[in-house]
A and B are shown apart, each in its own frame.
Chain A
Amino acid sequence: MRATRSARTLAVAAAAGAALLLTSCAGGDLTSSSGSEGGDDAATTWNDATADLSGVTITFGGGTAGGPLDGAIEAFQEETGATIERVTYPDPYEQNLQTRVATGDIPDLASWQPTTSMLTALQAPANLLPLDDAPWLDAMDPAVRDIAGFVDGTRYAAIVSSPSVMGVYYNKAVFAQYGITELPQSWDEMLDVARTVQAGGGTAFVEAGGAQWPTQWAVQMQLAEAAQDGLWDEVNAGETAFTDSPIIDAITTYQGMVDEGLYNDDLRTATFEDQSAHLFAGEGAMALQVNALLEQLLTQYDAQQIDDTLGWFPISTDGTVATTIPDNKNGIVAFKTGDAEREAAAKQFLTFLMTDYYPTYIEDGGLVSIETDVPNPDTVPQLAQDIAASLGDSVGSMQSLAIANPDLYINLASLLYGEMTPEQVAEATQQQFAQLAQAQGAEGF
């Protein structure tokens, strides 16, 4: 008797528990919170930067701890009386924040990569506040202002620092040693420089195959002119695939460079730190990398040391068109939480950061200014200024312009080990892209 009674009660409890969980999980509609209610009003409300916000508490997700954002948040709290709670998401940051958003646990603000593919992953039109009429946009450098942050023509991310750019970092001493006095103006010229260095007994390129993610820059940088001609629009529409020219050609060229022996001996296992160490020590002439390399070096050396040792130039197939790839330190997004007061406060923080506080922000962070009337701080290396200057003649990367972000770098890392041919890399990447595009409901997939 006791057994059947407890079994029955258990069954009831099980059913109740299952029903509870299923209803809460069903439909994934948690993201369509009552955000739309306050959304329309909040979209047009832009408070003054230092308007009083006593009693308002908002949350800020992510953002480098110990970076210039700390000062911005403290200053904002002092000036307005608002409270900003920092929320940390453990690595991998993007995945964790995405997962929380999918369950409805949204912060008010968050650091986020302002690229189309990453904003789409957050379902920008449903979850983020549009920032089209932000008050600081006119003060921004026109070369930077519209570079990123858009989904379907609406601005969803605020660019807060100079976007990361793919380029070639070179060791000045090594270039001098091999008699290279002029910077290459095309991919072929760069390969000639590489062969000169190699012929002289040096190592032309330093790659971080062990870290995997840097392998994609060599391929992407070759696509700059094609991207300017609308390559990624065609890829997004399913008209051009990764297995077609010019992408497959770029991958094949990369394979050729590796086969020719233009890379470091520990190409396959070198970590990101190894790569920067090799380059700085002059054990290699060039490294194709993004701003992360400069930031990594700035943790060990000061601006003067870096400028004395390294230089930078952009490169593309037929010229020097730079390819931009804003990272999650470059952008901040504001979420639709449904609470009009908090949404307005979140946008007010952005205004505060980009107007009143901006000079202090870039001074603290040693960042290049992206506003026309705010000069660069003295601590900014020439390298960073060169990088920012290239934005004028730049184009977006796959991450910026494609609707989805396949793991091209993982397939390229397999290529380095000879496990995949360029055709297989292209095929695998295309399949992943198609899968992601289809999940988004994109036409043509």
Chain B
Amino acid sequence: MATTAPAPARTAHAASGRAAAPAPRRRRAVSYPSWMLWPAFAALLVFFLVPTLLNFVYAFTDWSAFKQGFGFVGAQNFQRLFADGSLLSSLRVTLVWAVLVALLQNGFGFVLALLLEGDTRVNRGARIVFFLPVLLSPLAVGYVFQALLRPDGALNGVLGALTGTDVSIAWLGSTTWTIVVVSVVQAWKWMGLSMLIFMAGLKTMPTDVLEAARIDGASWWRTLWSVRFPLLAPAVTFNVATALLGSMNGFDTATALTNGGPARSTELLNIFIFRTFGQGLYAQATTMSLVLFLTVVIVALPVILYLRRRENVL
């Protein structure tokens, strides 16, 4: 993720009556010895860069648990995987999941941030409560919800009590809708984090802009959409990018909830990779891993470019 962007040329917006941008802060001349970065770089190298490079290498071999050593087999793994169709279907499931999680997590987070904006004691307590799921183990969350969402589980029990009838919906048993249910659980788990980031964005908004909007007679709703939301662009960039790209690597919650079922309709690519790896087909698993990596890169570039460009409105 990019750190600070160079200060873009700032234009005054007549419609919102904004003041001219403040002058850039004077940068202090700081220099730390570069060797302070080496431990971090070493960890990055060993655990991220080298495995990613090796990913490119092993995907073209026939490495498996069944034989010693391996040989190069060209693009055979790729041909097989795409001819099969199961890789593409897992990829589709993963993209649907990622988009749903990004939308839901940030939607919930934004609403929560707006609701809990004020610094009352109740709000402060509520913020903690909504943040707790973020700290929970994803597997634990998955298992708890799996129990809650059973046909004879607590959710159906509550619905049954409310409607007065016997409710036994198989929330995790639909090949069409379970992916949505699983996305909701994932979004619930992480919405606290989105809420925090949005709240930070809301609280660090320049007050003179907001006061100008108030003086101009803008309603709360109008202020929200025309003034505050555009100014939240950096927070939106961070939240959407991490939610979208992070959830493309999702695994734990979905595994605990459905283990890829029913009928592989929630089988994220990572779950498929895990299963293939478990069968001892290491080269095929590496190939799939490489495909996932490339997909994330392909999705990330336009998304981040667009979101960063949006920030230039500031």
Contacts and interface: CB of A to CB of B under 8 A. Distances in A.
A98 B66 CA distance: 10
A198 B270 CA distance: 42
Interface stretch (A25-33, A348-356, A367-375): A25-33
Contacts of A120: 66
B54 A123 contact: no
Contacts of A99: 277
Nearest to A415: B263
B70 A98 contact: no
Of listed B38, B50, B65, B173, residue having the most chain A CB within 10 A: B65
Contact of A431 (B54, B84, B279): B84
B66 A440 contact: yes
Interface string A15-36: 0011001100101110110000
Main secondary structure on B side of the interface with A: loop
B25 to A, nearest CB: 24
B258 to A, nearest CB: 9
Contacts of A27: 68-70
B280 interface: yes
Interface string A382-405: 000000000000000000000001
Interface string A402-439: 00010100100110110110000000100110011001
A17 B66 contact: no
Interface stretch (B41-49, B105-113, B197-205, B215-223): B41-49
B77 to A, nearest CB: 10
B280 A436 contact: yes
- Size range of the chain B interface in the assembly: 35 or more
Contacts of A6: 34-35
Contacts of B183: none
Main secondary structure on A side of the interface with B: helix
A291 B35 CA distance: 60
Interface in A1-49: 2-3, 6, 10, 13-14, 17-18, 21-22, 25, 27-29, 31-32
A86 interface: no
A31 B275 CA distance: 22
Contacts of B282: 102
B124 interface: no
A266 interface: yes
Contact of A439 (B50, B67, B86, B151): B67
Given A268-B173, A419-B263, A123 B65 contact: yes
A121 interface: yes
A436 B151 contact: no
A410 B264 contact: yes
A92 interface: yes
Given A92-B278, A268-B262, A419-B175, A126 B68 contact: yes
A269 B173 contact: yes
A13 B50 CA distance: 12
Contact of B261 (A102, A123, A413): A413
Given A266-B151, A413-B263, A95 B277 contact: yes
Interface in B256-300: 259-265, 275, 277-284
B170 interface: yes
A440 B261 contact: no
Contacts of A18: 45, 50, 53
A439 B173 contact: no
B80 interface: yes
- Size range of the chain A interface in the assembly: 35 or more
Contact of A98 (B62, B65, B170, B175): B65
Contacts of A17: 42, 45-46, 50
A441 interface: yes
A439 B69 contact: no
A122 B280 CA distance: 9
Nearest to B69: A27
Nearest to B49: A14
A432 B279 CA distance: 10
A212 B63 CA distance: 29
A92 B259 CA distance: 12
Nearest to A22: B54
B312 interface: no
A6 B84 CA distance: 47
A441 B170 contact: no
A255 to B, nearest CB: 14
B65 A417 contact: no
B72 to A, nearest CB: 12
A122 B66 CA distance: 7
Q: Considering the complex of A and B, which 3 residue pairs feature the smallest CB-CB distances, nearest first?
A: A95-B278, A6-B34, A414-B263
Interface of A: 2-3, 6, 10, 13-14, 17-18, 21-22, 25, 27-29, 31-32, 92, 94-95, 98-99, 101-102, 120-123, 126, 210, 212, 266, 268-269, 405, 407, 410, 413-414, 416-417, 419-420, 428, 431-432, 435-436, 439-441
11 contacts: A6-B35, A10-B38, A28-B68, A28-B70, A121-B280, A122-B65, A269-B150, A410-B260, A414-B263, A417-B263, A435-B80
Given A6-B35, A98-B280, 12 more contacts: A13-B42, A14-B45, A17-B42, A17-B50, A21-B50, A28-B68, A94-B278, A98-B278, A126-B68, A268-B173, A269-B151, A440-B64
